[in-house]
Amino acid sequence: MLRIDPLNLRSILVAIALAVCSGQAHGDALDGVLEVRSAYVSMEGGVFLLHARIEYPVSPAIRDALHDGVTLTVDLDTRIERERRFWFNADVQELTLRRELDYHAVSDRYLVRDVRSGTQKSFATLEEALADLGAVDGWPVLIEPQLAPGNYRISVRAGLRRGRLPASLHALMFWTDDWHRVSEWYTWSLPD
């Protein structure tokens, strides 16, 4: 399917909007490397499990923001497509693994929380917390019956943004919020 990346579009629009209206200079708060270093899937009992290593940026700005009480939402978007020869690829599955990172001021620890399961881990340092976030092991993304014969492509992308906003504010914020980044898609073919 033809896609126009909404985030790219958004950055263009934000640029226009800033140039036209605001004139305020926003530095990129999420400077640093954000990329999927490696990713692969393994199959176990008919379930495809995703393993990935992601590098998240560490910067004083992030640290300060976390210390001020800001929660960072870390998304891992996974997309599985069936390749078609004469047409756009067909979407088979789209999943997002959403986790949150915040600083627990009372205990002086960094918490990593899985949004869906509600499980939570705490770390003494930001680096440890980010290392934990950057390791995804055995995340079930697909079951075998979903696959028909053919070639499949899996794409993984990591995203980082300031999260846990009230929904109404979030809607308004999207065009002035520079606390939002995504990595390039990391794509490979599913072995037959």
Partner 1 sequence: MVAPGLTGPAPAKPRWRGVALVLLWAGVGVGALLLLAKSVQNSGEFSRLQPWILLLNVIGVVALTALLARKLTQLVRDYRAHVPGSRLTARTVAIFGALVVAPLLIVYLFSLQFLNRGIDSWFHVEVKQGLSDALVLSRAALDLRVREYSRHTENLAHSLVNASAEDVAQRVYEERRATAALEMAVYGAHERIIAASLENPLESIPTRPPSDLVRQVGERRAYVSLEPQAGGEYLIRTAAPFTESLSRGDDRYLVAIYEVPTQLAALSEAVQHAYSQYGELAALREPLKSSFRLTLTLVLLLAMLAAIYGAIFSAQRLVRPVQDLIEGTRAVGKGDFGTRLPLPSRDEMGFLVHSFNDMTKRLRRAREEATRSQRVVERERERLAIILARLSTGVVVVDRELTVSIANQAAGAILGTDLSAAIGRALPELTAGNERLGQFVAALVVRFGAGREEWREQLDLDGASGRRTLMCACTPQSGADRDLGYVIVFDDITMLLQAQRDAAWGEVARRLAHEIKNPLTPIQLSAELMRRRFLSSMSPQDAEVLERGTRTIVQQVETMQQMVNAFSEYARAPEMRITRFNLNQLASEVADLYRSHDPRVEIRLELDARIDGIEADRGRVRQILNNLVINALEALDGVATPRLELATRFEQAAGDARYAIVTVCDNGPGFQRELLGRVFDPYVTSKPKGTGLGLAIVKKIVEEHGGRIDADNRPEGGARIRVVLPMTDSTRSASGIRERRAELRREIV
Binding site for partner 1 (CB under 8 A): 6, 9-10, 13, 16-17, 21-22, 24, 26, 65, 67-71, 102, 104-109, 111, 113, 118-120, 122, 124, 128, 162, 164-165, 167-178
Q: Which two tokens stand for residue 117?
A: 């399961």
Angle 110-173-130 from CA coordinates, rounded to 5°: 20
Q: Which is nearer to partner 1, 174 or 188 (CB)?
A: 174
Minimum distance from CB of 6 to partner 1 (Å)? 5
30 neighbors 57 (Cβ within 8 angstroms) = yes
Indicate the angle between helix axes 126-133 and 60-67, nearest 10 degrees: 100
Helix (H, G, I), strand (E, B) or coil at 7: helix
Q: Which is nearer to partner 1, 82 or 161 (CB)?
A: 161
Minimum distance from CB of 150 to partner 1 (Å)? 28
**Strands ordered across the beta sheet of 47-55:** 35-44, 47-55, 135-143
Minimum distance from CB of 169 to partner 1 (Å)? 6
Q: Which is nearer to partner 1, 16 or 43 (CB)?
A: 16
Minimum distance from CB of 49 to partner 1 (Å)? 23
Query: E-strand spans in 30-117?
Result: 35-44, 47-55, 72-82, 90-104, 109-114
Q: Which is nearer to partner 1, 81 or 102 (CB)?
A: 102
